[in-house]
Structure 1
Amino acid sequence: MLISIPKYLILFALLYFNSTNAFAQISSVICGNLLNVETGLYDQNVLITFDPITENIIKIDINSNKKIDSKTIDLSEYFCLPGLIDMHTHISEDISNDLINFYTTTQEEQLKIGRVNAEKTLMAGFTTIRDLGVYIAWTDRKLKNEINAHKIPGPRMKISGFYLSIPGGGGDIDVPDYQGVVPDHIKRGITQGADNFEARAETLINGGVDQIKLIASGAVLAYGSVPGNPEMSPEEISAVVKVARQSNTKVIAHAHGALSIKQAIQSGVHSIEHASLIDEEGIQMAKEYGVALSMDIYNGDYINEYGIIEGWPEEFLRKNRETTDIQRENFSKAHKSGVKIVYGTDAGVYPHGNNAKQFKYMIKYGMTNIEAIQSATIHAAEVIGMLDQVGQIKKGFFADLIAVKENPMLNIQVLENIDVVIKGGRLYK
């Protein structure tokens, strides 16, 4: 007997009863239309069978007419695709123009924020995220462990620990005229000199990070920091990369400015975040070195609108205006040049759960629907080293799947309202 969606909602209500790890474990799902994200084509009437122990897909039958047991979810009227991947989030942070909050918030308070945001992100269809930095160190590690233990609902997390940044740089919370005490944990990654950055990188690796996030250039939402200016030197970036390579750990560079982008690429980083002011030479270098770009081309509009309403510092709003349009122009140029672009939103700068709002911007600035979907599936999976685990619906991959009522190949905005979310063979929505 198939479980239709209305019946599943009843099942969900019965199962949930305030237990965060009580989401329904299912054995299989039948998809009326399953998107092959490599080709952009659909297979019809696909029966996908899961292993509840490994959380993997163990069998895929196309044009199936087999009898199905009572734990099978009927999605025969839906369009199914792999769970999405956001390559740039800050899951334990909420948008705020009051940076002093980071001085006064405890780790437990930030964990509570992170738990809420993790669920919002998962329910938005993002079953994997690359979380790129926390101000209170190891909040991300605690969240990751809770999610992996099924204590809370949330996406698979690739974590970065604390930021690496120079004093007064884009990763240093330095609030003018603040008279209170700045807690030590806010400054764990703030240092100067190649040797000191090496030591900080070793601390991160020993702490279990999946990648290291360094701040190569200035930032938009930081006092006194200029997005176009380099901050970490090539020697400092290279020192971090050297340490990271010893443990096969990837290094991710926040870099707006053209020079800092090229310095980071030459120093051996794996991806560039923002890339707002990238020039033609930088685009060609990214292509030559195989460095992916993660360009958050949606949130400039959000910052401008929300920031004006909330009275954000004019310095922040001005820098946002100076980088938003040119970043989008450079996104188009990089895409046309064949640079690998992955789906990264900087969620936390705008509300978690709205991660899919960037898709329509990627279409507007040059991508096709399938290219945008690939940026959040197979291309993202490759860049985070999970190409054989997530980003596709294949045997042996994690059973991460989402479904919508309309065809995202015709209307990408349907991904802003996901109807069904399955992660690891568990039905979450």
Structure 2
Amino acid sequence: MSLLFVGGVAAQDGGAQQKGTGQGNIAVHAGWLFDSEKGRLLEKRTVHIVDGRVESVERGFTRRSGERLIDLSAFSVLPGLMDMHTHLAYEYGPRTYTETFTWNPADYTLRAVNTAERTLQAGFTTVRDLGDSDNVTVSLRNAINRGDIIGPRVFTAGTSIATTGGHADPTNGYRHDLMGSPGPAEGVINGEASAREAVRQRYKDGADLIKITATGGVLSVAKSGQNPQFMQDEVEAIVATARDYGFTVAVHAHGKEGMERAIRAGVDSIEHGTYMDDETMALMVQHNTWYVPTLMAGDWVTQKSKVEGFFPEMVRTKAAAIGPLLQDTFQRAHRKGVNIAFGTDTGVSRHGDNAQEFALMVQAGMSPADAIRSATWNAAQLLNAQDELGSIAPGKWADMVAVIGNPLEDITALERIRFVMKGGVVYKKPQ
């Protein structure tokens, strides 16, 4: 069946509408519409859009006077997908460790412009960015919101907060005369006072949330991938200060003790969570802590650890040990009832491939419906943006994607996005 875009907006014309203020009234005819609250597909629905927001959803195919029609009657239509763990300014490759010394902030910014558009074209209309340098993604977010460039809605943590020598200390691996002593402004803290200062600096920088690295990590040039790196009083100071400024707190963590310190302190999400055990999972359920699993990152580092010379040896050893564990951890956490929100750690893997995470989640035992809910309904809850995002419902932004076929039967359909709308503006239409 041919598609009729009566007065539709071409993808390349969307840049001037990035604020989500799609103009005029639109009717979208959806052959099947994904109800992200209930996790089901509804047949033959019309979504009426007014100035970038959903005005109503009706049974059957209807069209009001003066509405432009977007005919997706041959497609499955879903809310815009949401990735809760990305790094838009980065994309891992053979020169990653030397870029620190050869690239300027402008180089990272230009890369982020490219990766942001790729992300949107892949159907991800909203992302959390969990760590950059020089506030690149703060400027990126602002440029997208102004309509200067094309990209998803960005909620950014700006520069991550670490401890001296910890994962995300920006001088790890430097020779001694270049290490210096970075402080809260650079995202390195020691003690409660500097922890509070670092949060306040993120507020001053224009961040949307706080990201801390509570344990060691895989790709940093540092020995441990799992040791706890914040004392209990430090993470508690970060969370308490973050609450004063309206921030949520996302926590990179692999090791059990670092995770549990963060969970007890009241953080909002644990990213990766490799070594969580049943006790950790029970604590997460008790505290209503979200889990963002990043299975793609685990799969990617596992594969690359087998390539001779791809990683520095210190990194290769951690990648080979930690990477293979993530899918099993995810499977156990899902069975234990831990709240799960979709996240990929893209920037480790290639931007635009984000949807490959869905297949890994399903392989580990999650139903396709719940996997999609994790990237729509659940992600909006984690962002505290459930009144604006996460479902196709009255009053929310008109963020929608479409695929051929039934994604509840073939989750890989989400790797072949055919239509993208953000805020009532079409950025990709079927050819």
TM-score (norm 2): 0.91
Give the whole-Å Cα distance in 2 for the aligned partners of 1:193 and 1:152. 40
Return the offset for 1:187.
Answer: 7.0
Of 114, 118, 121, the match for 1:120: 118
| Alignment equivalent of 1:271, drawn from 269, 272, 277 | 269
Task: Say whether residues 1:42 and 2:37 are aligned partners.
Answer: no
What's 1:60 paired with?
57
Tell me the alpha carbon deviations over residues 343-374 of structure 1, each in whole angstroms, 9 at most, x when there is no partner: 01000011100000010110111100011011
Tell me the equivalent position of 2:258: 260
Q: Indicate conservation of the 8 Å contact 1:161/1:209, yes or no.
A: yes
CA distance in 2, matches of 1:310, 1:114: 27
Q: Which residue of 1 aligns with 2:218?
A: 220
2: CA distance, partners of 1:38 / 1:22: 28
1:409 aligns with 2:404: no
Q: Tell me if structure 1 keeps the 8 A contact 2:223–2:314.
A: no
Name the amino acid aligned to 2:251: A
**Alpha carbons of 1:102 and 1:177: their partners in 2 closer, same or farther (altered >3 Å)?**
closer
Residue type at the aligned position of 1:91: L
**d(CA) in 2 for partners of 1:63, 1:341:** 33
- Aligned with 2:398: secondary structure? coil
Shift of 1:181: 5.1
User: Is there any run of 5+ residues in structure 2 with no aligned partner, and where?
Assistant: none
Matched, 1:194 2:192: yes
Provide, for residues 392-420 of structure 1, a one-character-per-residue CA deviation record: whole Å limited to 9, x for no partner. Answer: 00010000000001110000001011000
Q: Following TM superposition, by how much is the alpha carbon of 1:254 offset from its aligned partner in structure 2, in angstroms?
A: 0.8
1:21 partner SS: helix
1:102 and 2:97 are equivalent in the alignment = no
Partner of 1:79: 76
Match of 2:132 in 1: 134
User: Are 1:388 and 2:383 an aligned pair?
Assistant: no
* Structure 2 residue 142 is matched with structure 1 residue 169: no
Which whole-Å CA distance do the structure 1 matches of 2:184 and 2:92 have between them? 17
Q: Which amino acid aligns with 1:4?
A: L
Q: Which amino acid aligns with 2:291?
A: L
Which of 155, 158, 161 is the matching residue for 1:158? Answer: 155
**CA distance, structure 2, for counterparts of residue 225 and residue 390 of structure 1:** 40
The Cα of 1:99 is off from its aligned counterpart by: 2.1
In the other structure, the counterpart of 1:426 is 425
State the alpha-carbon separation in 2 of the partners of residues 67 and 173 from structure 1: 56
Partner-residue secondary structure (3-state), 1:372: helix
Partner of 2:209: 211
What do the CA deviations read for 1:302-332 (whole angstroms, capped 9, x no partner)? 2233452662213222212211232221111
Shift of residue 30 of structure 1?
1.1
Q: How does 1:3-14 map to 2 (within 5 A)?
A: 4=3, 12=10
The aligned counterpart of 2:292 is 294
SS of the aligned residue for 1:373 comes to: helix
Measure the CA separation in 1 of the matches of 2:161 and 2:176.
24
TM-align CA RMSD: 2.5
Quick one: structure 1 residues 225 and 28, their matched pair in 2 at CA, closer, same or farther if it must change by over 3 Å? farther
Corresponding residue for residue 21 of structure 1 = 16
Q: Where does residue 398 of structure 1 map in the other structure?
A: 397
Task: Name the CA distance, whole Å, in 1 between partners of 2:63 and 2:318.
Answer: 58
TM-score calculated relative to the size of structure 1:
0.92
Contact 1:360 1:412 in 2 (8 A): yes
**Corresponding position of 1:356:** 355
In structure 1, which of residues 226, 230, 233 is the aligned counterpart of residue 231 of structure 2? 233
Residues 1:336 and 2:335 aligned together: yes
- The equivalent residue for 2:244 is 246
> 1:289, CA displacement in angstroms?
0.3
Q: Secondary structure at the match of 2:42?
A: strand
Q: What displacement does 1:161 show?
A: 1.1
Instruction: Read off the aligned partner of 2:69 and give its amino acid letter.
Output: T
Counterpart of 2:194, as a letter, is N
Provide the secondary structure at the position in 1 that maps to 2:110: helix
CA separation of 1:249 and 1:74: change in aligned 2, threshold 3 A? same
Query: CA separation in 1, counterparts of 2:313 and 2:265?
Result: 34
- Contact residue 3 and residue 72 of structure 1 kept, 8 A: no
The share of aligned pairs that are identical, in percent, is: 31
Distance in 1 separating the partners of 2:243 and 2:173: 37
* Corresponding letter in the other structure for 2:28: V
Deviations 1:263-302 (A, max 9, x none): 1001111110110000111000000000001111122222
Inter-CA distance 360–310: structure 2 relative to 1 (3 Å threshold) = farther
Mapped contact 2:172–2:179 kept (Cα < 8 A): no
Moved more, 58-67 or 157-166: 58-67
Query: SS where residue 31 of structure 2 aligns?
Result: strand
SS of equivalent to 1:311: coil
Counterpart AA for 1:21 = A
The 10-residue stretch of structure 1 (118-127 or 245-254) with the greater mean CA deviation from structure 2: 245-254
More displaced stretch, 187-196 vs 341-350: 187-196
Q: Go from structure 1 to structure 2 and tell me whether the alpha carbon gap of 1:426 and 1:309 turns closer, same or farther (over 3 Å shift).
A: farther
Q: Render the CA deviation track for 1:100-131: whole Å, top value 9, x for unaligned.
A: 31243222211111110000100111101011
Conservation of the 8 A alpha-carbon contact between 1:135 and 1:186: no
CA distance in 1, matches of 2:193, 2:185: 17
Report the alpha carbon displacement of residue 212 of structure 1 after superposing the two structures with TM: 0.4
Quickly say closer, same or farther: Cα 1:426–1:182, change in 2 above 3 A: farther
